[in-house]
Structure 1
Amino acid sequence: MIRYAQSDDAFAYGFEDEVWWSRTAQPALHSWCSDQPFRLVEKQRAKDDPDGPAIACYGCYLPSDNQMLLRFVDGRPVSAVTCAFLTWLAAHFTAKGKRALFLIWDNATWHNSKIVRTWLKEHNRLAKQQGSCRLIICRLPSKSPWLNPIEPKWLHGKRAIAEPVRTLPMDELIQRICDYYHCQPLDPIAK
């Protein structure tokens, strides 16, 4: 399937996943210091902090371009938000002149929900009629995150944006994430 997508400019393929970016939890990280051991400790949020403890993010990794497409979420990833992300993704690839996107993802419950399956069927039916980008879903086996190349991208990103001294405001956290992945911060997907 990947070779097929690579053989024609009208097709693309990507790996989709969701991740939570925490403002307080620190990633597993090793570092070297000349003075004393350096240790990342989970921070506490101030009681009057208006930002939430974390933000959810949908991402699509495109190995052919070594590019990440990101959309942040108000709330948690659920079926309706997944459909909104897929709508945005299809519009993005339609604008690039693609006829189909082979989207490889895991078996998260919201990926297998009736709402998402119905939305995909309807979207692909309309896309075929209108000549826009269809979404062809390829599911990874259950409990096999090592098969999804986006997973290490998330881990490296979390390590790169770690702030050992202070709790980042949500807008600064989002900006750091977008800077690391070389993408523009877009409005979050609403529930």
Structure 2
Amino acid sequence: MWQPVGEQRAARVPEENDDFTLYGTLDLTSGQTYIEAFEKGRSDCATQYLESLLEETAGKVLLIWDQATWHMSGQVAEWLDGADRIETCLLPVRSPEANPMEDLWRELKEQVAACLERSLDALLESCQKYFEALSPEQSVRTAGLYLN
């Protein structure tokens, strides 16, 4: 926030910044999104998310994702070896433009950036409302894809 020199107001900064990580999947055949929040981007959270994704879906899953360290860990690789319904396709390093889900994350950030809430719970609720209001057609269109 801009303030005149010498007249800046003190800003309270918490001792520890809390955060959360949203995991999300866009079903390219239906346009449905599956979103779940976790405390961090870690391997155990990634496998928990994948377990819940399998509960929400039927049939084979082609998982297209980036090469974040928590996606590439030995723990996740071992879990994926035991998941016969999931086939993975890794995107090139540092190429978010190749991932259709990134367009949804970008729009989410634009929508939620206006949310000046002071709590993580309110921010998470805004994120969840964004995805709940998104129709399957809007999801696919935002991702730059079109259903027949």
Please give the TM-score of this superposition, normalised by the length of structure 2.
Answer: 0.73
Q: Which of 80, 97, 102 is the equivalent residue of 1:120? A: 80
Structure holding more strand per residue: 1
Report the Cα offset of residue 48 of structure 1.
Answer: 6.3
Contact 2:63 2:87 in 1 (8 A): yes
Report the Cα offset of residue 168 of structure 1.
Answer: 3.1
Query: Which residue matches 1:59?
Result: 24
Q: Which of 123, 126, 130 is the equivalent residue of 1:180? A: 130
Query: Which residue matches 2:98?
Result: 147
Aligned-partner Cα distance in 2 for 1:116–1:48: 33
Q: Residues 115-137 of structure 1, C-alpha deviation per residue, up to 9 Å, x if partnerless?
A: 1111111232xxxxxxxxx1111
Aligned-partner Cα distance in 2 for 1:178–1:60: 13
For residue 28 of structure 2, what is the amino acid of its counterpart? Answer: P
Q: Which of 56, 59, 76 is the equivalent residue of 1:92? A: 56
Please state whether the residue corresponding to 1:182 is helix, strand or coil. Answer: helix
Aligned-partner Cα distance in 1 for 2:71–2:27: 19
Structure holding more helix per residue: 2
Query: Which residue matches 1:110?
Result: 70
Question: Structure 2: where are the runs of 5+ without partners?
Answer: 1-9, 134-148
Root mean square deviation of aligned Cα: 2.4
Report the Cα offset of residue 67 of structure 1.
Answer: 2.6
Please give the TM-score of this superposition, normalised by the length of structure 1.
Answer: 0.58
Report the Cα offset of residue 50 of structure 1.
Answer: 9.1
Residues paired across the two proteins, number: 124
For residue 65 of structure 1, what is the amino acid of its counterpart? Answer: S
Contact 2:61 2:87 in 1 (8 A): yes
Contact 1:100 1:135 in 2 (8 A): yes
For residue 69 of structure 1, what is the amino acid of its counterpart? Answer: Y
Identity among equivalent positions (%) equals 27
